[in-house]
Amino acid sequence: MIAFRHKQKWQTVLPQLSLLVAVPPMVTKIPIHKMQTRGIGTGISVAEVEGGVARVVEVEAAVEGEVVIREASHRRIKVVATRRGKWDEGNGRNLDKRKRNDEEQVAKRRKVNDGEEGADVLFSKEEIDAEGRKPKRKVAVMIGYAGSGYKGMQINGAEKTIEGDIFKALVAAGAISKANADDPKKSSLVRCARTDKGVHAAGNVISLKLIVEEPNIIQLINENLPPQIRVWGIERTNGSFSCYQTCDSRWYEYLIPTYSFLPPHPQSFLGKKLVESSEKEGVFETYQSQQEDVADFWKSTEETYVKPILDKLDPELREVVVTSLHSSEDEDPTTKKTNKKPADEEAEPEAEAMEGAEGASTKEVQFQAEDATSAFEFEKGNTAPVKEETNEEVEPSAQDTEMPAEPSKSVLSPVEAAIKEIKAAYITAKKAYRISASRRERVQEALNCYVGTRNFHNYTIQKTFSDPSAKRVIRSFKVGPDPIIINDTEWLSLKVHGQSFMMHQIRKMVAMVALVVRCGTPLSIIKDSYGTANISIPKAPGLGLLLERPVFDSYNQKAVNEYKREKINFDNYQKEMDEFKQREIYDRIFREEERDHQ
């Protein structure tokens, strides 16, 4: 809003956008529209706002009903007045904003009742009037959540989102008035970090205007939230605070099972290709030295876990099982074509289509994206071409009752049963693997390649090398000192501290490190990925990713010294956060990995 005073004021909006208004001699507040000129008399410079860019023009003539202005280019523009006084009420632009807002809310409620659009929380005018008006304060709300079952953090229509549930809880607790319950924008809701579908956060921040007079407001909010979403604390801030703009950096954590760093099976396509390439390039001895600590893993697995299963089979069946077990691994995965897309590609069709188009001209490195994806699938236990059967039987429809009954799919053939048992044996062997100190150090060396200001155009989608926004700052990327053992499986915690991150960036960074370590690839391939060449890098599963916490060091210093406010500090809730992480995030990740990814 702007305010001014003079005996003759003119506000000019060019005719292709709006109208001309003569403002009476008084202090008047008017909104700035897409293009407007305001000036006083002839020869006075005025500011013309067009798309947020201000220009200076000169008023050549200012008479009632007509204004002629001269731009910097000296092109004459004639603007004719269509109305004096208030703005056109028919277009909803009258100066009585409260009346206009009431009319908009009535129209919105009418649409809701007609089923045209919806809001989860709506109240009648009588309920709103009965509640009365209470003061609102700008605050930072520190939250934590497990993202499983949610379509991301940000409110998105009727989708189930973290913010959606939090907003409902704020209304139910009385922290947001009933008058503002139908639109989060009324409360100036902003999130610090927008996490995607299924991604967790031990600490995140939203900023908005809340009614915080109730002493136990945090308890009331949490009582209206599911156990997988918690509010840690609420801190008063200055009125212009935006958690997104004032956030200095962010900490993320990625949990990864250590068997992801094992070399590919010698009989897999990737395993054979690595040996072939290293021999061709004359670096086979170097490749072997990189895999020295796990050189006997697959041989030991075959002897300990697989051989007892094969020994139980008769010779003919054993030969068929061995042939079937490794038949698909002799094929080049890049020659296979399928119409089925991964779930995350279906969610982002345009973005992933762009990524695929760029990948068509990618520079071929020691492994291709399809090979890498195949390698990840192998780690999940897909060691055979036979599809795992379920015990569920589909009830035939009425039209099919007279058709001859087909054999039940729940009955496995001897070959399928043996292969299924061997696949389970491979999974058991990988879960028993414990990473060596030298291999963990190799992981850390690979992570160190990311530290600094780098061009991460290959680690996201729809970014080119020349795009300035592809450059990001990574302050640290560390492997946790102690592996975590859950259900006999060893996990590593990888923590990255960066200023900001792009879509899929962390997942692609983790995938690149896993492939470099397990394939014995030189670390220079990571540095090459910052160059002009397009390199297709697969994404690690989103399951293990969680936002640890955002950092507000710059704001906290001002909050204490200038605003006399408390810091936004998650350390005050560390004990509760650790318990929540273990119960709602870590255990959930481990359960879902056990259930869905093996």
Output the CA–CA distances (angstroms, integers) from residue 461 to 26, 505, 507, in the order listed.
Answer: 54, 9, 12
Strand partners, 9: 23
Q: Which tokens hold the place of 116?
A: 């045209």
User: How far is CA 400 from its chain centroid?
Assistant: 45
Residue type, 239: G
Domain assignment present for 580 = no
d(CA 234, CA 173): 14
Distances 591 to 148, 390, 428, 514, 544 between C-alpha atoms, Å? 12, 20, 16, 22, 11
Examine residue 558 and state whether it is found in any structural domain, yes or no: no
Q: Looking at the 3D structure of the chain, how many domains does it have?
A: 3
- Whether residue 235 is found in the same domain as residue 274: no
- What are the helix (H) ranges across 94-232? 97-113, 125-131, 162-172, 217-223
Q: Are residues 347 and 472 in the same domain?
A: yes
pTM for this one? 0.68
CA distances to 138, 194, 233 from 569, in Å: 17, 19, 9
Give the separation between CA 568 and CA 233, rounded to whole angstroms.
9
Same domain, 335 and 213: no
The pLDDT score that the predictor gives to residue 130 is 74
Is 431 part of a structural domain of the chain?
Answer: yes
Establish if 139 belongs to a structural domain: yes
User: Are 110 and 188 in the same domain?
Assistant: yes
Within-domain flag for 264: yes
> Which residues, other chains included, contact 123 with Cβ-Cβ below 8 Å and sequence gap of 6+?
178, 179, 181
φ/ψ of 2, rounded to 5, equals -130, 150
Q: What is the CATH number of the domain that holds 314?
A: 3.30.70.660
Asked if residues 532 and 104 have their Cβ atoms less than 8 Å apart, the reply is no
Do 153 and 198 fall into the same domain? yes
Q: Are residues 103 and 227 in the same domain?
A: yes
Residue 21: inside a domain: yes
The verdict on 458 and 333 lying in the same domain is yes
Could you tell me if 455 and 491 lie in one domain? yes
Q: Which of 129, 196, 293, 482 is catalytic?
A: 196
CATH code of the domain containing 219: 3.30.70.580
Q: Are residues 429 and 301 in the same domain?
A: yes
**Gap between the Cα atoms of 145 and 163, Å rounded:** 10
Cβ–Cβ under 8 Å, residues 447 and 479: yes
Are the CB atoms for 96 and 81 separated by under 8 Å? no
The answer to whether 55 and 37 have CB atoms below 8 angstroms apart is no
Shared-domain flag, residues 480 and 361: yes
Report strand pairing: 66-70 vs 53-63: antiparallel
Q: What is the pLDDT of residue 137?
A: 93
- Which of residues 35, 69, 88 is at a domain's end? 88
Q: Are residues 111 and 180 in the same domain?
A: yes
In a domain, 339, yes or no: yes
Q: Which residue has the tokens 């210093």?
A: 557
pLDDT tens for the chain, 598 residues long, are: 333 333 333 333 333 333 333 333 333 333 334 344 444 344 444 444 444 444 444 444 444 444 444 444 333 333 333 333 344 444 444 446 666 666 665 655 554 444 444 344 577 777 777 777 889 999 999 999 999 899 989 998 889 999 999 999 999 999 999 888 888 999 999 999 888 888 899 999 999 999 998 899 999 999 999 999 999 999 999 999 999 999 999 999 999 999 999 999 998 889 999 999 999 989 999 898 989 999 999 999 999 999 999 988 888 888 888 888 766 555 555 555 444 444 444 333 333 323 333 333 333 333 334 344 434 443 444 333 333 333 333 333 333 334 444 444 568 888 888 888 998 999 999 999 999 999 999 999 999 999 999 999 999 999 999 999 999 999 999 999 889 888 889 999 999 999 999 989 999 999 999 999 999 999 999 999 999 999 999 999 888 899 999 999 999 999 999 999 999 999 999 999 999 999 999 988 888 887 765 5
Domain that holds residue 428: 258-385+411-551
Q: Which among 66, 88, 110 is the end of a domain?
A: 88
* 105 assigned to some structural domain: yes
Classify 177 as helix, strand or coil: coil
Q: What is the largest CA-CA distance in the chain?
A: 106
Q: Known catalytic residue: 102?
A: no
Pair 306, 418: CB distance under 8 Å = no
Residues 216 and 144 in one domain: yes
